[in-house]
Amino acid sequence: MAQTNTYDPTATDRDERRWDRWGRLTLAIGVVLLVWPVLTTLATYRYPTDGWSSTPIESFSIGGPQRLTEPLTTQATPLQADDVVVALDGRPLLANTPPPLPPGLAEGQVIRYTLERAGQTVKVDVTLIRLGPSALLLDQLQLFRSNPGNSLFVFAMLSIATTVFVLRPGSLAARYLFLFAAFDFGIGLRTSSDLYAFTYPSWLSFLSGIYGFGWVYIFLPCITLLALVFPVRKWPARRFPRLLSLAVSGLPLAASVVANAMIWFGGHLSAYRVLSPLTFYAACWALIVVPVVLLHNLLTIHEPLARAQMRWLAFGLGLGFIVPLITLLVSVELWPVSDPRREAILVVGNLALLIFPICLAIGILRYRLFDIDVIIRRTTSYAIITGLLALVYFGSIVVLQQLLSPFTGDSTPAVVLSTLFIAALFLPVRRRVQDWIDRRFNRTRYDAEKTLAAFAATARDETDLDALLAELVRVIQETMQPEHVSVWLRPADSSRPPGEDAI
């Protein structure tokens, strides 16, 4: 018997609240994603280093010049952020070749760095140190100072995703959202020094490298799978769930394990280039599947629950990415890099990214928590009202200044009159905009209100009971659209006076 795409909200809600083995496994994987980077980072601190995190100039490569990013210690150091290390003890750093570090590094050993700093070549002596656990905390504080908006977003994202997952451990969407947020948070806990990575034991470098490429087997696949299971499971997720997970996440994981094993255990540096097409492969899944599935859902989903969840998803995607884009464009155009106002609006933009996970969380936890139609209606109407009133306000100020300045000598009367004019316009503009939105985008509600208003007028004047019942049936069919309508008249009761029959 073929399965129909129908909903049983009570059963679905009950199933999603229950912890099963897959929910417990998801929780275990999420905890591992959070603990893994902390343990591997603390393990690297046991070995001598220059006390800086660093990354290659060329992406997807080993060796070559290294850019210093953040200090991991408060000790005095001759190195500076954005220094590019081009040679160690006079030996250049070559692409696809491990850094030419002397063997048997020890704490207190001095290495001469050749740096490119602000267009000049500088040579400095660097004393190797061992980092303590406080270096991890220092790195997180520096990340927060450099980009507080992103740090707050990542923490809030993990909090939202964890809450949704705990409340709905049986929901596939909640599981993928939790794994996505756990990796996004965990990758920020990982500090790397690619300059000294080859001095670590092979097993430690292997574990650190595998986690670093979780983008291809955790981050991007979770986005793809989330789109395929929410608000309804698409055909590949229903028909071939294991094969789909294998293609989207399993193959990238296996390939990244093999490539990292070849790098750190076999010494085949060219295997690192395998990770570049892996990223392309995972990104293609997300970039192709997600928009296609979203468009297909908009065209084919008819169930009220799924459509409400879809509207929450669309609402979150719209505001969650448009608002940050606007804040980014405004900050770039209006203020220089050093202006604190630019940093403040960028923080607002990063926090606006939370609109998407919040809307997704509401959709997963059931749309009935809030009325999405009311939110969309009011957001749209007040955005249009604000834009119209702002345009009229500034236009009236300009016009009134031209007219009144010759008599008053300043702009104060123009501002006062413009403010009073806007205050008088607010209610009529709000009514007209709301009616226009209802007619264009909320026609069912608009028509229902008109129909009910007409029935109220008819009920006041109609004296024929049969005509009134027929009108009542017609109104119910138009506004509620039930499958069947019937009216039951209570039989006359001898204990009641005439005319008190109940409908």
Mean pLDDT (whole number) for 12-39? 87
173-179 mean pLDDT: 91
Predicted local distance difference test score (pLDDT) of residue 370:
46
Q: Report how far residue 164's alpha carbon sits from residue 364's, in angstroms, rounded to the nearest whole number.
A: 8
Of 8-12, 19-23, 169-173, 277-281, the range with the lowest mean pLDDT is 8-12
* Mean pLDDT rounded to a whole number for the chain: 77
3-class secondary structure for 253-284? Answer: HHHHHHHHHHHHHHCCHHHHHHHHHHHHHHHH
Place of tokens 């408060």: 74
Which of 167, 188, 258 has its CA nearest to residue 217? 258
The answer to whether residue 204 scores a pLDDT higher than 50 is: yes
Give the CA distances from residue 138 to residues 46, 161, 343, 400, 414, in Å, rounded to whole numbers and listed in that order. 17, 26, 21, 56, 54
Residue whose structure tokens are 């061992």: 130
Q: Is the pLDDT of residue 179 over 90?
A: yes
Q: How far is CA 364 from CA 169, 372, 400, in A?
A: 11, 13, 52
The winner for highest mean pLDDT among 34-38, 367-371, 485-489 is 34-38
Torsion sign (Cα): 399, 403, 404, 405: positive
- 246: how many CB neighbours lie within 10 A of its CB? 13
SS3 66: strand
Q: What is the pTM of this model?
A: 0.67
- Selected residue with higher pLDDT from 72 and 474: 72
How are beta strands 110-117 and 52-56 bridged, if at all? unpaired
For the residues of 122-190, what is the DSSP string, one character each?
EEEEEE-B---THHHHHHHHHHHHH-HHHHHHHHHHHHHHHHHHHH-TT-HHHHHHHHHHHHHHHHHT-
What pLDDT is recorded for position 10? Answer: 44
Per-residue pLDDT for 239 more than 90? no
Rounded Cα gap, residues 139 and 156, in angstroms: 19
Average the pLDDT over 144-156 and give the result.
79
- Report pLDDT for 176: 92
For 293-351, what is each residue's pLDDT tens digit?
888 887 887 777 777 777 777 777 777 777 777 776 766 666 665 666 767 777 777 77
Query: Residues of 110-123 as b/e, b for ≥16 C-beta within 10 angstroms?
Result: ebebbbbeeeeeee
**Residues 214, 219: Cα–Cα separation, whole Å:** 6
pLDDT (0 to 100) of residue 231: 82
The listed CATH number (2.60.120, 3.90.1530, 3.40.50, 2.30.42) that belongs to domain 52-129 = 2.30.42
